[in-house]
Structure 1
């Protein structure tokens, strides 16, 4: 089996574009020579921040329109208007924007692809410590956001009961656990 690409792009067209994403449709050729289409969502990489303090985390809860309900997650996102920044800049921006906290230390603990079957977008995961409270500066879409402190035991309970369903949050917790085990 070859290490080269299993699918080759023959043509590409933008189907839709807005301030947050581009949706592209590619005409492709597979290894066996058959052709087809592949739909992709292009978004800038984002950051997930685990604001840890004592035996828990500062988390945010908000209504998520695509799933029609409120859920808890770690602060996360990208810079407005598809701007690019260093992963640390994005993490610091999101932490302050959503929670008001500033972190004395941001430790990178991993990188993940968020939905590699339909997008190349990835997320940089950071552990934030030495938290200093301040005022948040939420975007209009985040005006119903709440924040709260969740112990590790509560975090696990919220995952089990389905109050935390965000894959990036659960994956960030896994990376945090692996990071702590390696120390």
Structure 2
């Protein structure tokens, strides 16, 4: 049964594609019969990792974010590959690739659609425990990442003060604080 609020897609095409995402253009019919168009960002699902060392520090990345023109401090994040059947394994892989750290234990935290009014993005959050720098970073061609460790309370305070503005990092800390600690 279709929900009375559902839009009917009459036609759909990729209007623009680039590494990492596409812009999709849909022709749609609204519930009142109006026909219009709707564009949205389409990207593969991602894993977001809140990684803790054995000492309780958090492993963070500092990365140039060209859209906002600054270095951003946040959590390791990576794309779920088409052959990833195990999201926990994907989280472990992305943690190692971006930070060179491997986790003793990885647990799911939550799954969110961070911007479902304009994108089909899905982010799967994980908490990684007992992380140690035992791997080599394996960055994509377009990644400029510096790995830093921070006291968790210091990172939490930076999130609270607005110094850390990356939405994925902010949501990860808020969810962890609200439901896990």
Answer yes or no: same fold by TM over 0.5.
yes
Three-state SS of the structure 2 residue aligned to 1:138 is coil
2: CA distance between counterparts of 1:17 and 1:45? 16
Shift of 1:103: 0.9
Regions of 4+ moved over 4 Å: none
- Say what the alpha-carbon RMSD is for the aligned residues: 1.9
Partners in 2 of 1:5 and 1:106 — Cα distance?
38
1:2-151 superposed matches below 5 A: 3-53=3-53, 54-79=55-80, 83-85=82-84, 86-134=86-134, 135-142=136-143, 144-151=144-151
Tell me the TM-score normalised to structure 2 length: 0.88
Q: 1:38 aligns to what SS in structure 2?
A: strand
More helix by share: 1
Q: CA deviation at 1:129?
A: 0.6
**Shift of the alpha carbon at 1:18?**
2.5
Gap runs ≥5 in structure 2: none
Give 1:4 deviation, angstroms: 4.2
Task: Say whether the 8 Å CA contact 1:61–1:72 is kept in structure 2.
Answer: yes
The alpha-carbon distance between structure 1 residues 131 and 152, as it changes in their structure 2 partners (threshold 3 A), is closer
User: After the TM superposition, which of the residue ranges 4-13 and 120-129 deviates more from structure 2?
Assistant: 4-13
Cα distance, 1:89 vs structure 2: 2.6
Q: Which residue of 2 aligns with 1:170?
A: 170
Rounded to whole Å, the distance in 2 between the matches of 1:26 and 1:116 is 15
| CA positional deviation for 1:116 | 0.5
Native 8 Å contact 1:71 1:163 kept in 2: no
What CA distance in whole angstroms lies between the structure 2 residues aligned with 1:3 and 1:158?
A: 42
Matched positions, count: 177
- In 1, the alpha carbon distance for the partners of 2:117 and 2:153 equals 32
What is the TM-score of this pair, normalised by structure 1? 0.87
